[in-house]
Structure 1
């Protein structure tokens, strides 16, 4: 017997709610985008930008660019649609992470004299390709001169949508975790190593991390926190310079050196880790108790 696809119109309110909850637990962040996305136009824009850079490089080297026979391109592929041409025209060239971009990021970060200035500088910075796929910058939020600064790896879909770190369900979970040891979100500073959400929540590449390092280190330098709480595998490896997992790095005090200043740092599991493996909540709770106890004893 042939099966029939079930439409949303066939479900009642309770069934729809259950279906949405299932997708949320499975990690689906978006069902539909707010605006239609023409992926073909994006590809055409990237290819045009690549061709322009290649042409510029050939001209600078004094080499004529190879050209096809007249009309060959027209015969080999159809002309782009109007929507593709309109989308391609204003699209900026994709910024590929490289050594110059890292140097530019370091210079931009060093010129900021406050967190507000740093935010403005990062919003204008165009040297990281992640900026072009994210909705916007997700900057540090909270107490600008905290005793505790909490740092995660990168924004998720909720953060990207709200423009704030640790938004949505993970933010609520983090607030409960911190509240359990007497810390309030308004008293601390929250931030991420990567300020722009990577496409599909993928892990940042090495060059992307190198570009973003001056920005997070400058945030720490300007905020002058007394202690750092590092969340998750990526963030722990980033700050501790280790290839070990968060389960090996968690629960211990270490020093992180930023601008010549040693800051006591403590790593534990990220709220996303706890959502994926609720059994790990007991480990996180042990870590938080140890972190709370160490706040008074660390120099």
Structure 2
């Protein structure tokens, strides 16, 4: 089977976005949301950023990472020579949870196909998780952001093997100088990761399998073997 062309991948991503906009899977989220926040940016980006879920501003505008956190993200990307339009930004949950509560496991399960489709169709080399929730979810591990921030690993997430880089969430960095310093230092690692060859693609673990959690392969070993993640 031949790989889809860039234009075919863009068309399929647009189809997934339209499908998500009418998603009825989570009754509480459907009743509460203003709009579905699918994602935004370059559909051919080498860098994909994943946060937890939309907040009030994102829900109103239909775009991920807006407001002060979005402005900080844009500034940090500018600092490493990337424009916001050159990356792809999304969230693990596509609808704002009521009262900004944490996403429920069944809600994340319902949204999983959309994130997997984004990974498959954008084909990023590097995925940066923003904040503890997204980091724990995509790593399949309870370690918090303070423990693993800035430690790049090769991971298979659904259909795509990537270099995963945990980052503090920009909203947390706005109010805590230590988090801001960590975030700036960790974002500065992104260009070197993007300059590396894309990791070898590995067949994903079936979602009904239960492999033992893999040991993280921390940088500076940029060619550590891929780990399998069947948890998300």
TM-score, length basis structure 1: 0.60
Of the three residues 48, 61, 69, the one matched with 1:162 is 61
Q: Which residue of 2 aligns with 1:235?
A: 134
Q: Which residue of 2 aligns with 1:95?
A: none
Q: Is residue 173 from structure 1 mapped to residue 72 from structure 2 by the alignment? A: yes
Q: Secondary structure at the match of 1:200?
A: helix
Q: Is residue 127 from structure 1 mapped to residue 12 from structure 2 by the alignment? A: no
Of the three residues 184, 189, 206, the one matched with 2:83 is 184
Q: Which residue of 1 aligns with 2:202?
A: none
Structure number with greater Rg is 1
TM-aligned CA deviation for residue 178 of structure 1: 1.1
Tell me, which stretches of 5 or more residues in structure 1 are unaligned?
Answer: 1-111
Q: Which residue of 1 aligns with 2:51?
A: 152
Please identify which structure carries the higher helix content.
Answer: 1
Output the CA distance in 1 between the equivalents of 2:175 and 2:99: 17
TM-aligned CA deviation for residue 278 of structure 1: 2.7
Q: Which residue of 2 aligns with 1:278?
A: 177
Q: Secondary structure at the match of 1:276?
A: coil
In 2 relative to 1, CA 168–260 (structure 1 residues): closer, same or farther, beyond 3 Å? closer
Of the three residues 110, 123, 140, the one matched with 1:211 is 110
Output the CA distance in 2 between the equivalents of 1:229 and 1:291: 9
TM-aligned CA deviation for residue 259 of structure 1: 4.6
Output the CA distance in 2 between the equivalents of 1:117 and 1:290: 33
Q: Is residue 117 from structure 1 mapped to residue 12 from structure 2 by the alignment? A: no
Contact 1:221–1:258 (CA<8 Å) still a contact in 2? no
Contact 2:41–2:85 (CA<8 Å) still a contact in 1? yes
Tell me, which stretches of 5 or more residues in structure 2 are unaligned?
Answer: 1-9, 199-232
Q: Deviations over 1:157-181 (max 9, x none)?
A: 1111111111111110110111111
Contact 1:142–1:190 (CA<8 Å) still a contact in 2? yes
Q: Which residue of 1 aligns with 2:228?
A: none
Q: Which residue of 2 aligns with 1:52?
A: none
Q: Is residue 198 from structure 1 mapped to residue 97 from structure 2 by the alignment? A: yes
For the aligned residue pairs, the C-alpha RMSD in angstroms reads 1.7
Q: Secondary structure at the match of 1:164?
A: coil
Q: Which residue of 2 aligns with 1:8?
A: none
